[in-house]
Amino acid sequence: MSPRLRHLTTLEHLPRISIERLLDRAEALRDACAHGTRKLDVLAGRTVLNLFFEPSTRTRTSFELAARRLGADVINFDLGFSSTSKGEELYDTLHTLEAMHLDAIIVRHKEAGTPDALVRHAMSGVSVVNAGDGHRAHPTQGLLDVLTIRQHRPDFENLVVVICGDIKHSRVARSDIHALTVMGAKEIRLCGPAGLMPAADEFPHCRYYNDFDAAIEGADVSIMLRLQKERMAIVDLPDEAAYFNHYGLDTRRLARAAKGCLVMHPGPLNRGIEIASEVADGAQSRILEQVGNGVFVRMAVLCEVLAR
Amino acid sequence: MSPRLRHLTTLEHLPRISIERLLDRAEALRDACAHGTRKLDVLAGRTVLNLFFEPSTRTRTSFELAARRLGADVINFDLGFSSTSKGEELYDTLHTLEAMHLDAIIVRHKEAGTPDALVRHAMSGVSVVNAGDGHRAHPTQGLLDVLTIRQHRPDFENLVVVICGDIKHSRVARSDIHALTVMGAKEIRLCGPAGLMPAADEFPHCRYYNDFDAAIEGADVSIMLRLQKERMAIVDLPDEAAYFNHYGLDTRRLARAAKGCLVMHPGPLNRGIEIASEVADGAQSRILEQVGNGVFVRMAVLCEVLAR
Amino acid sequence: MSPRLRHLTTLEHLPRISIERLLDRAEALRDACAHGTRKLDVLAGRTVLNLFFEPSTRTRTSFELAARRLGADVINFDLGFSSTSKGEELYDTLHTLEAMHLDAIIVRHKEAGTPDALVRHAMSGVSVVNAGDGHRAHPTQGLLDVLTIRQHRPDFENLVVVICGDIKHSRVARSDIHALTVMGAKEIRLCGPAGLMPAADEFPHCRYYNDFDAAIEGADVSIMLRLQKERMAIVDLPDEAAYFNHYGLDTRRLARAAKGCLVMHPGPLNRGIEIASEVADGAQSRILEQVGNGVFVRMAVLCEVLAR
């Protein structure tokens, strides 16, 4: 049995058994809720704090719901998002929060590595959970994505996944690649305009594409990334319509994928830019299942790191 | 028996029996609290989310207190008020929240009809409660106002009510008119400067006035509306003192009303503009009773829409 | 036995027995938590509201944790901090909140005396707790500071305390002076640049210094205040380095104090301005103990004012 996780900052280097334990627990929690359990008390008396240095209403709300459904108290430590706390100032904030006897800190920060820095500087038994750090990792998103895939395609060794969009700046893509790699996916294809692709040596086990028609050919899963509109400048394309024409997922392009290809997106959607409404709202879309799984995965992570 | 409400977006077209059931329940909850019950658990395990696209600390707090006193969890989904989410973007937010298994969404939005649009687009069993949409409706305000009146003047068929101020842009006025009409008020008088009055055909059963002295003559209830100061430009009056002189409620003018006329205001007050302090703080003022009733009415509404 | 406090707006004029009762209770709560009690229900069903007209994530979070650990509900009444509510507008807000049946209001306001004004204008049994008003008082900080001192140096009658920095504009300093005076400290020394010292007659029983080397000589406790950087203009010193050179606490200067002198700071720290990192993080630092005691002191205060 793999040791219990005390923190979750990235999925890299996690053994498959640890990821599967989290996914199994998320499903058990989902089943309990489906059978009418509205609220558990496994974390009663524990306090979880949201420490968000970047705004994210959706992810914060998902963590808040997860913590409350387990009976924990939740504190939103609102920094007004003007804060760029780092270095000593960041560690003083950490130590102040630890001195208040919090049990877990959910952290989002624009600088990669911040959650690991908090783990290294923590003086007490507080658990740190990464809710997104720079372009590096968003591990609960990676977990909810492989959970969603597993519910439909449990045979990862036969799975071809394409991730399309701004891979270079995407912590979602990185955590998806980590999770899919650990789960033994057959093939991971990365696709996007040249300016938005990662360095060739970052993911040597993945296949790189600039042509989405070629990349989606025969894929079992298509994960579309949100295009940050300010990144359009990097893309050698005249406008959003041209981006959609080359890298958007529409019905015609989805037909090139394997039959029943799962359509996924971390949200929020830019309809008509990276995905057509007909596909986002279509029968193959798993986008809302991802959201639902997100709460259960976060419940599982909080149970894991806060177990006594 | 009228069917249970699943949503509350407006009081228009509601049968009197539905409104009275809500008022009766609000009073029962008030009595329970008066006898020492601090917190009920009828909504334990349920989650209510405040989705406010316009800031409103008072109304949001009243709903939050109502939900918590019933044992529900409350999530404030803070959009920073820069958001003007509508159309597909709004429905994507709705569907995301539904996928997180929320039980009720309390919504305030500057566009009339948004709560009904959410009801139409909802895919799950989530309940929608309108906390104010544009100039159209603020149904819990309408309910708390008729509850306050009923506690003092239960004989609506003999009741003369005057509503004074910016009727045209007031969702409070509209919901009050809807509620008073359903409850069978004898006479509803609307009074304000010409530029702030609704179209003549919007409320054909009400009497329109521009002269407040005439309008308040013999009234049993006087509901004063808050003047948005940016609306002074529409009013053909030189300044706030002139507005008060023509449309403010002071002791002299209150003496023209029926004996014991109830003085009401949805708050927050512009003292010296639409109401004199001597009247706002006087023996006939029901303004703070309105606030107290607001929490109980919102508890009643949440019980109604979230009953299993 | 001294009467129970209904409000806490300042420590001035409080009898020593009242302060000691709060400290004793804070320690009892700390012991209960150390023995595994995660959450008490002594305030179950009670509602505490944070009414902060100045931002303070740390203090607000400390009060929120304190209230929740006692089982109370907490409402954050967020005023956006653009608000400068005062006079009638402030009292209308108070009366609105009272009408919603809140049990306690935790208030921070930039104007001195605001919490007392709320107490005078309160119409119901709501309790008011001051979380900082202008430069005047921050009583829970004063309590947590004397609690921290008492844990290490219970013999106040032999205690020499130096408070260094911007005394003139510091509510922390004032509440510390009040608490130390009541507890019978032997000597209270105030030290800072001339422009940041209080009037000579404000604290006639304290000793005033401009030379920190002289002030710290033989001190048992050194409380360093945060320098608001905008106050540098008042100080007749060329820059922050010069301020640190004259008024910063470093190892060399700490050696002039009594053996084992306690190093304290209300946070957040300006490292290298009023305190050297080697001292802030050193063996004599009690800074994080202060933070931990802050939660227990606030629990004790809420228990006191909300006891039935």
pLDDT digits (tens, 9 = 90+) for B50-104: 999 887 889 999 999 999 999 999 999 877 654 567 788 899 999 999 999 999 9
Query: Residue C39 above 90 pLDDT?
Result: no
B140 vs A4: CA distance, rounded Å: 49
**Of B270, B153, B174, B256, the residue nearest B211 (C-alpha):** B256
Instruction: State the CB neighbour count (10 A cutoff) for residue B55.
Output: 16
Q: Are residues C167 and C269 in the same domain?
A: yes
A101 in a known ligand binding site:
no
**Of C248, A261, C181, A164, the residue nearest C173 (C-alpha):** C181
Long-range contacts: B82-89, Cβ < 8 Å, 24+? B83/B53, B84/B53, B84/B110, B85/B53, B86/B111, B86/B114, B88/A271, B88/A277, B89/A268
Q: For B120-166, how does the pLDDT look when each residue is reduced to its tens digit (9 = 90+)?
A: 999 988 999 999 999 999 999 999 999 999 999 999 999 999 999 99
In a domain, B264, yes or no: yes
Q: What pLDDT score was predicted for residue C196? A: 96
Q: What pLDDT score was predicted for residue B57? A: 85
Helices B139-152 & B287-306 angle (0-180, nearest 10): 120
Q: Which residue has the higher pLDDT, B231 or A242?
A: A242
Q: What pLDDT score was predicted for residue B233? A: 83
Q: Are residues C113 and C195 in the same domain?
A: no
C179 vs A63: CA distance, rounded Å: 41
Q: Which residues of B touch A71 (CB under 8 A)?
A: none
Tokens of A24: 């199994």
Tokens of C6: 């209904």
B268 inside 8 A of chain C by CB: yes
In a domain, B262, yes or no: yes
Q: Which residue of A has its CA nearest to C280?
A: A92
C26 vs C238: CA distance, rounded Å: 43
In a domain, B8, yes or no: no
Q: For B216-272, how does the pLDDT look when each residue is reduced to its tens digit (9 = 90+)?
A: 999 999 999 999 888 888 888 889 999 999 999 999 999 999 999 999 999 999 999
Question: Is A292 in contact with B47 (Cβ distance < 8 A)?
Answer: no
In a domain, C199, yes or no: yes
Which of C46, C80, C99 shows the shortest C-beta gap to B38?
Answer: C46
**Of C162, C110, C117, C104, the residue nearest C136 (C-alpha):** C110
Output b/e per residue, B7-23; b: 16+ Cβ within 10 A.
bbbbbbebeeebbebbb
Q: What pLDDT score was predicted for residue A231? A: 84
Question: Is B101 in contact with A292 (Cβ distance < 8 A)?
Answer: yes
Dihedrals phi, psi of A82, to nearest 5 degrees = -90, -20
Q: Are residues B153 and B271 in the same domain?
A: yes
Establish whether the linkage from the previous residue to C238 is cis, with ω within 30° of 0: no
With beta carbons less than 8 A apart as the criterion, state whether A173 and A222 touch.
Answer: no
Listing DSSP states for C185-233 in one string gives -SEEEEE--GGGSPPTTTSTTSEEES-HHHHTTT-SEEEEPPPPGGGGG
C246 inside 8 A of chain B by CB: no
A290 vs A144: CA distance, rounded Å: 6
Instruction: State the CB neighbour count (10 A cutoff) for residue C180.
Output: 25
Q: Which residues of C touch B289 (CB under 8 A)?
A: 99
Could you tell me the pLDDT band of residue C56, with boundaries at 50, 70 and 90?
Answer: confident
ipTM for this model: 0.94
With beta carbons less than 8 A apart as the criterion, state whether A166 and A235 touch.
Answer: no
Q: Are residues B102 and B166 in the same domain?
A: no
Distance from CA of B73 to the nearest CA of A (A): 8
In a domain, A207, yes or no: yes
Tokens of B152: 């003092």
In a domain, C9, yes or no: no
Q: Which residue has the higher pLDDT, C1 or A178?
A: A178
Q: Are residues A67 and A88 in the same domain?
A: yes
Q: Are residues C193 and C207 in the same domain?
A: yes
B139 vs B136: CA distance, rounded Å: 10
Question: Is C291 in contact with A99 (Cβ distance < 8 A)?
Answer: yes
A81 inside 8 A of chain C by CB: no
Q: Are residues A60 and A195 in the same domain?
A: no
In a domain, B5, yes or no: no
Could you tell me the pLDDT band of residue C81, with boundaries at 50, 70 and 90?
Answer: low
C58 vs A149: CA distance, rounded Å: 41
Q: For B30-57, how does the pLDDT look when each residue is reduced to its tens digit (9 = 90+)?
A: 999 887 777 888 999 999 999 998 878 8
3-state SS string for B166-203:
CCCCCHHHHHHHHHHHHCCCCEEEEECCHHHCCCCCCC
Which of A65, A68, A271 shows the shortest C-beta gap to B88?
Answer: A271
Dihedrals phi, psi of B90, to nearest 5 degrees = -65, -40
Question: Is C88 in contact with B57 (Cβ distance < 8 A)?
Answer: no
- % of chain C exceeding 70 in pLDDT: 98
C171 in a known ligand binding site:
yes
Query: Residue C22 above 70 pLDDT?
Result: yes
| Domain extent at residue B57 | 16-137+291-306
B128 vs A25: CA distance, rounded Å: 32
- Report the CATH number that the domain containing residue B20 is assigned in CATH: 3.40.50.1370
Q: Are residues A210 and A280 in the same domain?
A: yes
In a domain, B6, yes or no: no
Q: Which residues of A touch C54 (CB under 8 A)?
A: none
Q: For C99-157, how does the pLDDT look when each residue is reduced to its tens digit (9 = 90+)?
A: 999 999 999 999 999 999 999 999 988 999 999 999 999 999 999 999 999 999 999 99
Work out whether the CA dihedral B165, B170, B172, B174 comes out positive or negative. Answer: positive
A58 inside 8 A of chain C by CB: no
Q: Are residues B143 and B281 in the same domain?
A: yes
Q: Which residue of C has its CA nearest to B39?
A: C45
B154 vs B156: CA distance, rounded Å: 6
What is the three-class DSSP state of A99? helix
Query: Which helix (DSSP H) or strand (DSSP E) does residue C12 occupy?
Result: none
Q: Are residues B143 and B283 in the same domain?
A: yes
Query: Residue C83 above 60 pLDDT?
Result: no
Number of compact structural domains in chain C = 2
Q: Which residue has the higher pLDDT, A236 or A91?
A: A91
Q: Are residues B146 and B193 in the same domain?
A: yes
**Of A116, A189, A149, A135, the residue nearest A293 (C-alpha):** A149
Q: Which residue out of A56, A61, A224 would a mutagenesis test of the B interface target, given it has the greatest number of B Cβ atoms within 10 Å?
A: A61
Q: Are residues A229 and A143 in the same domain?
A: yes
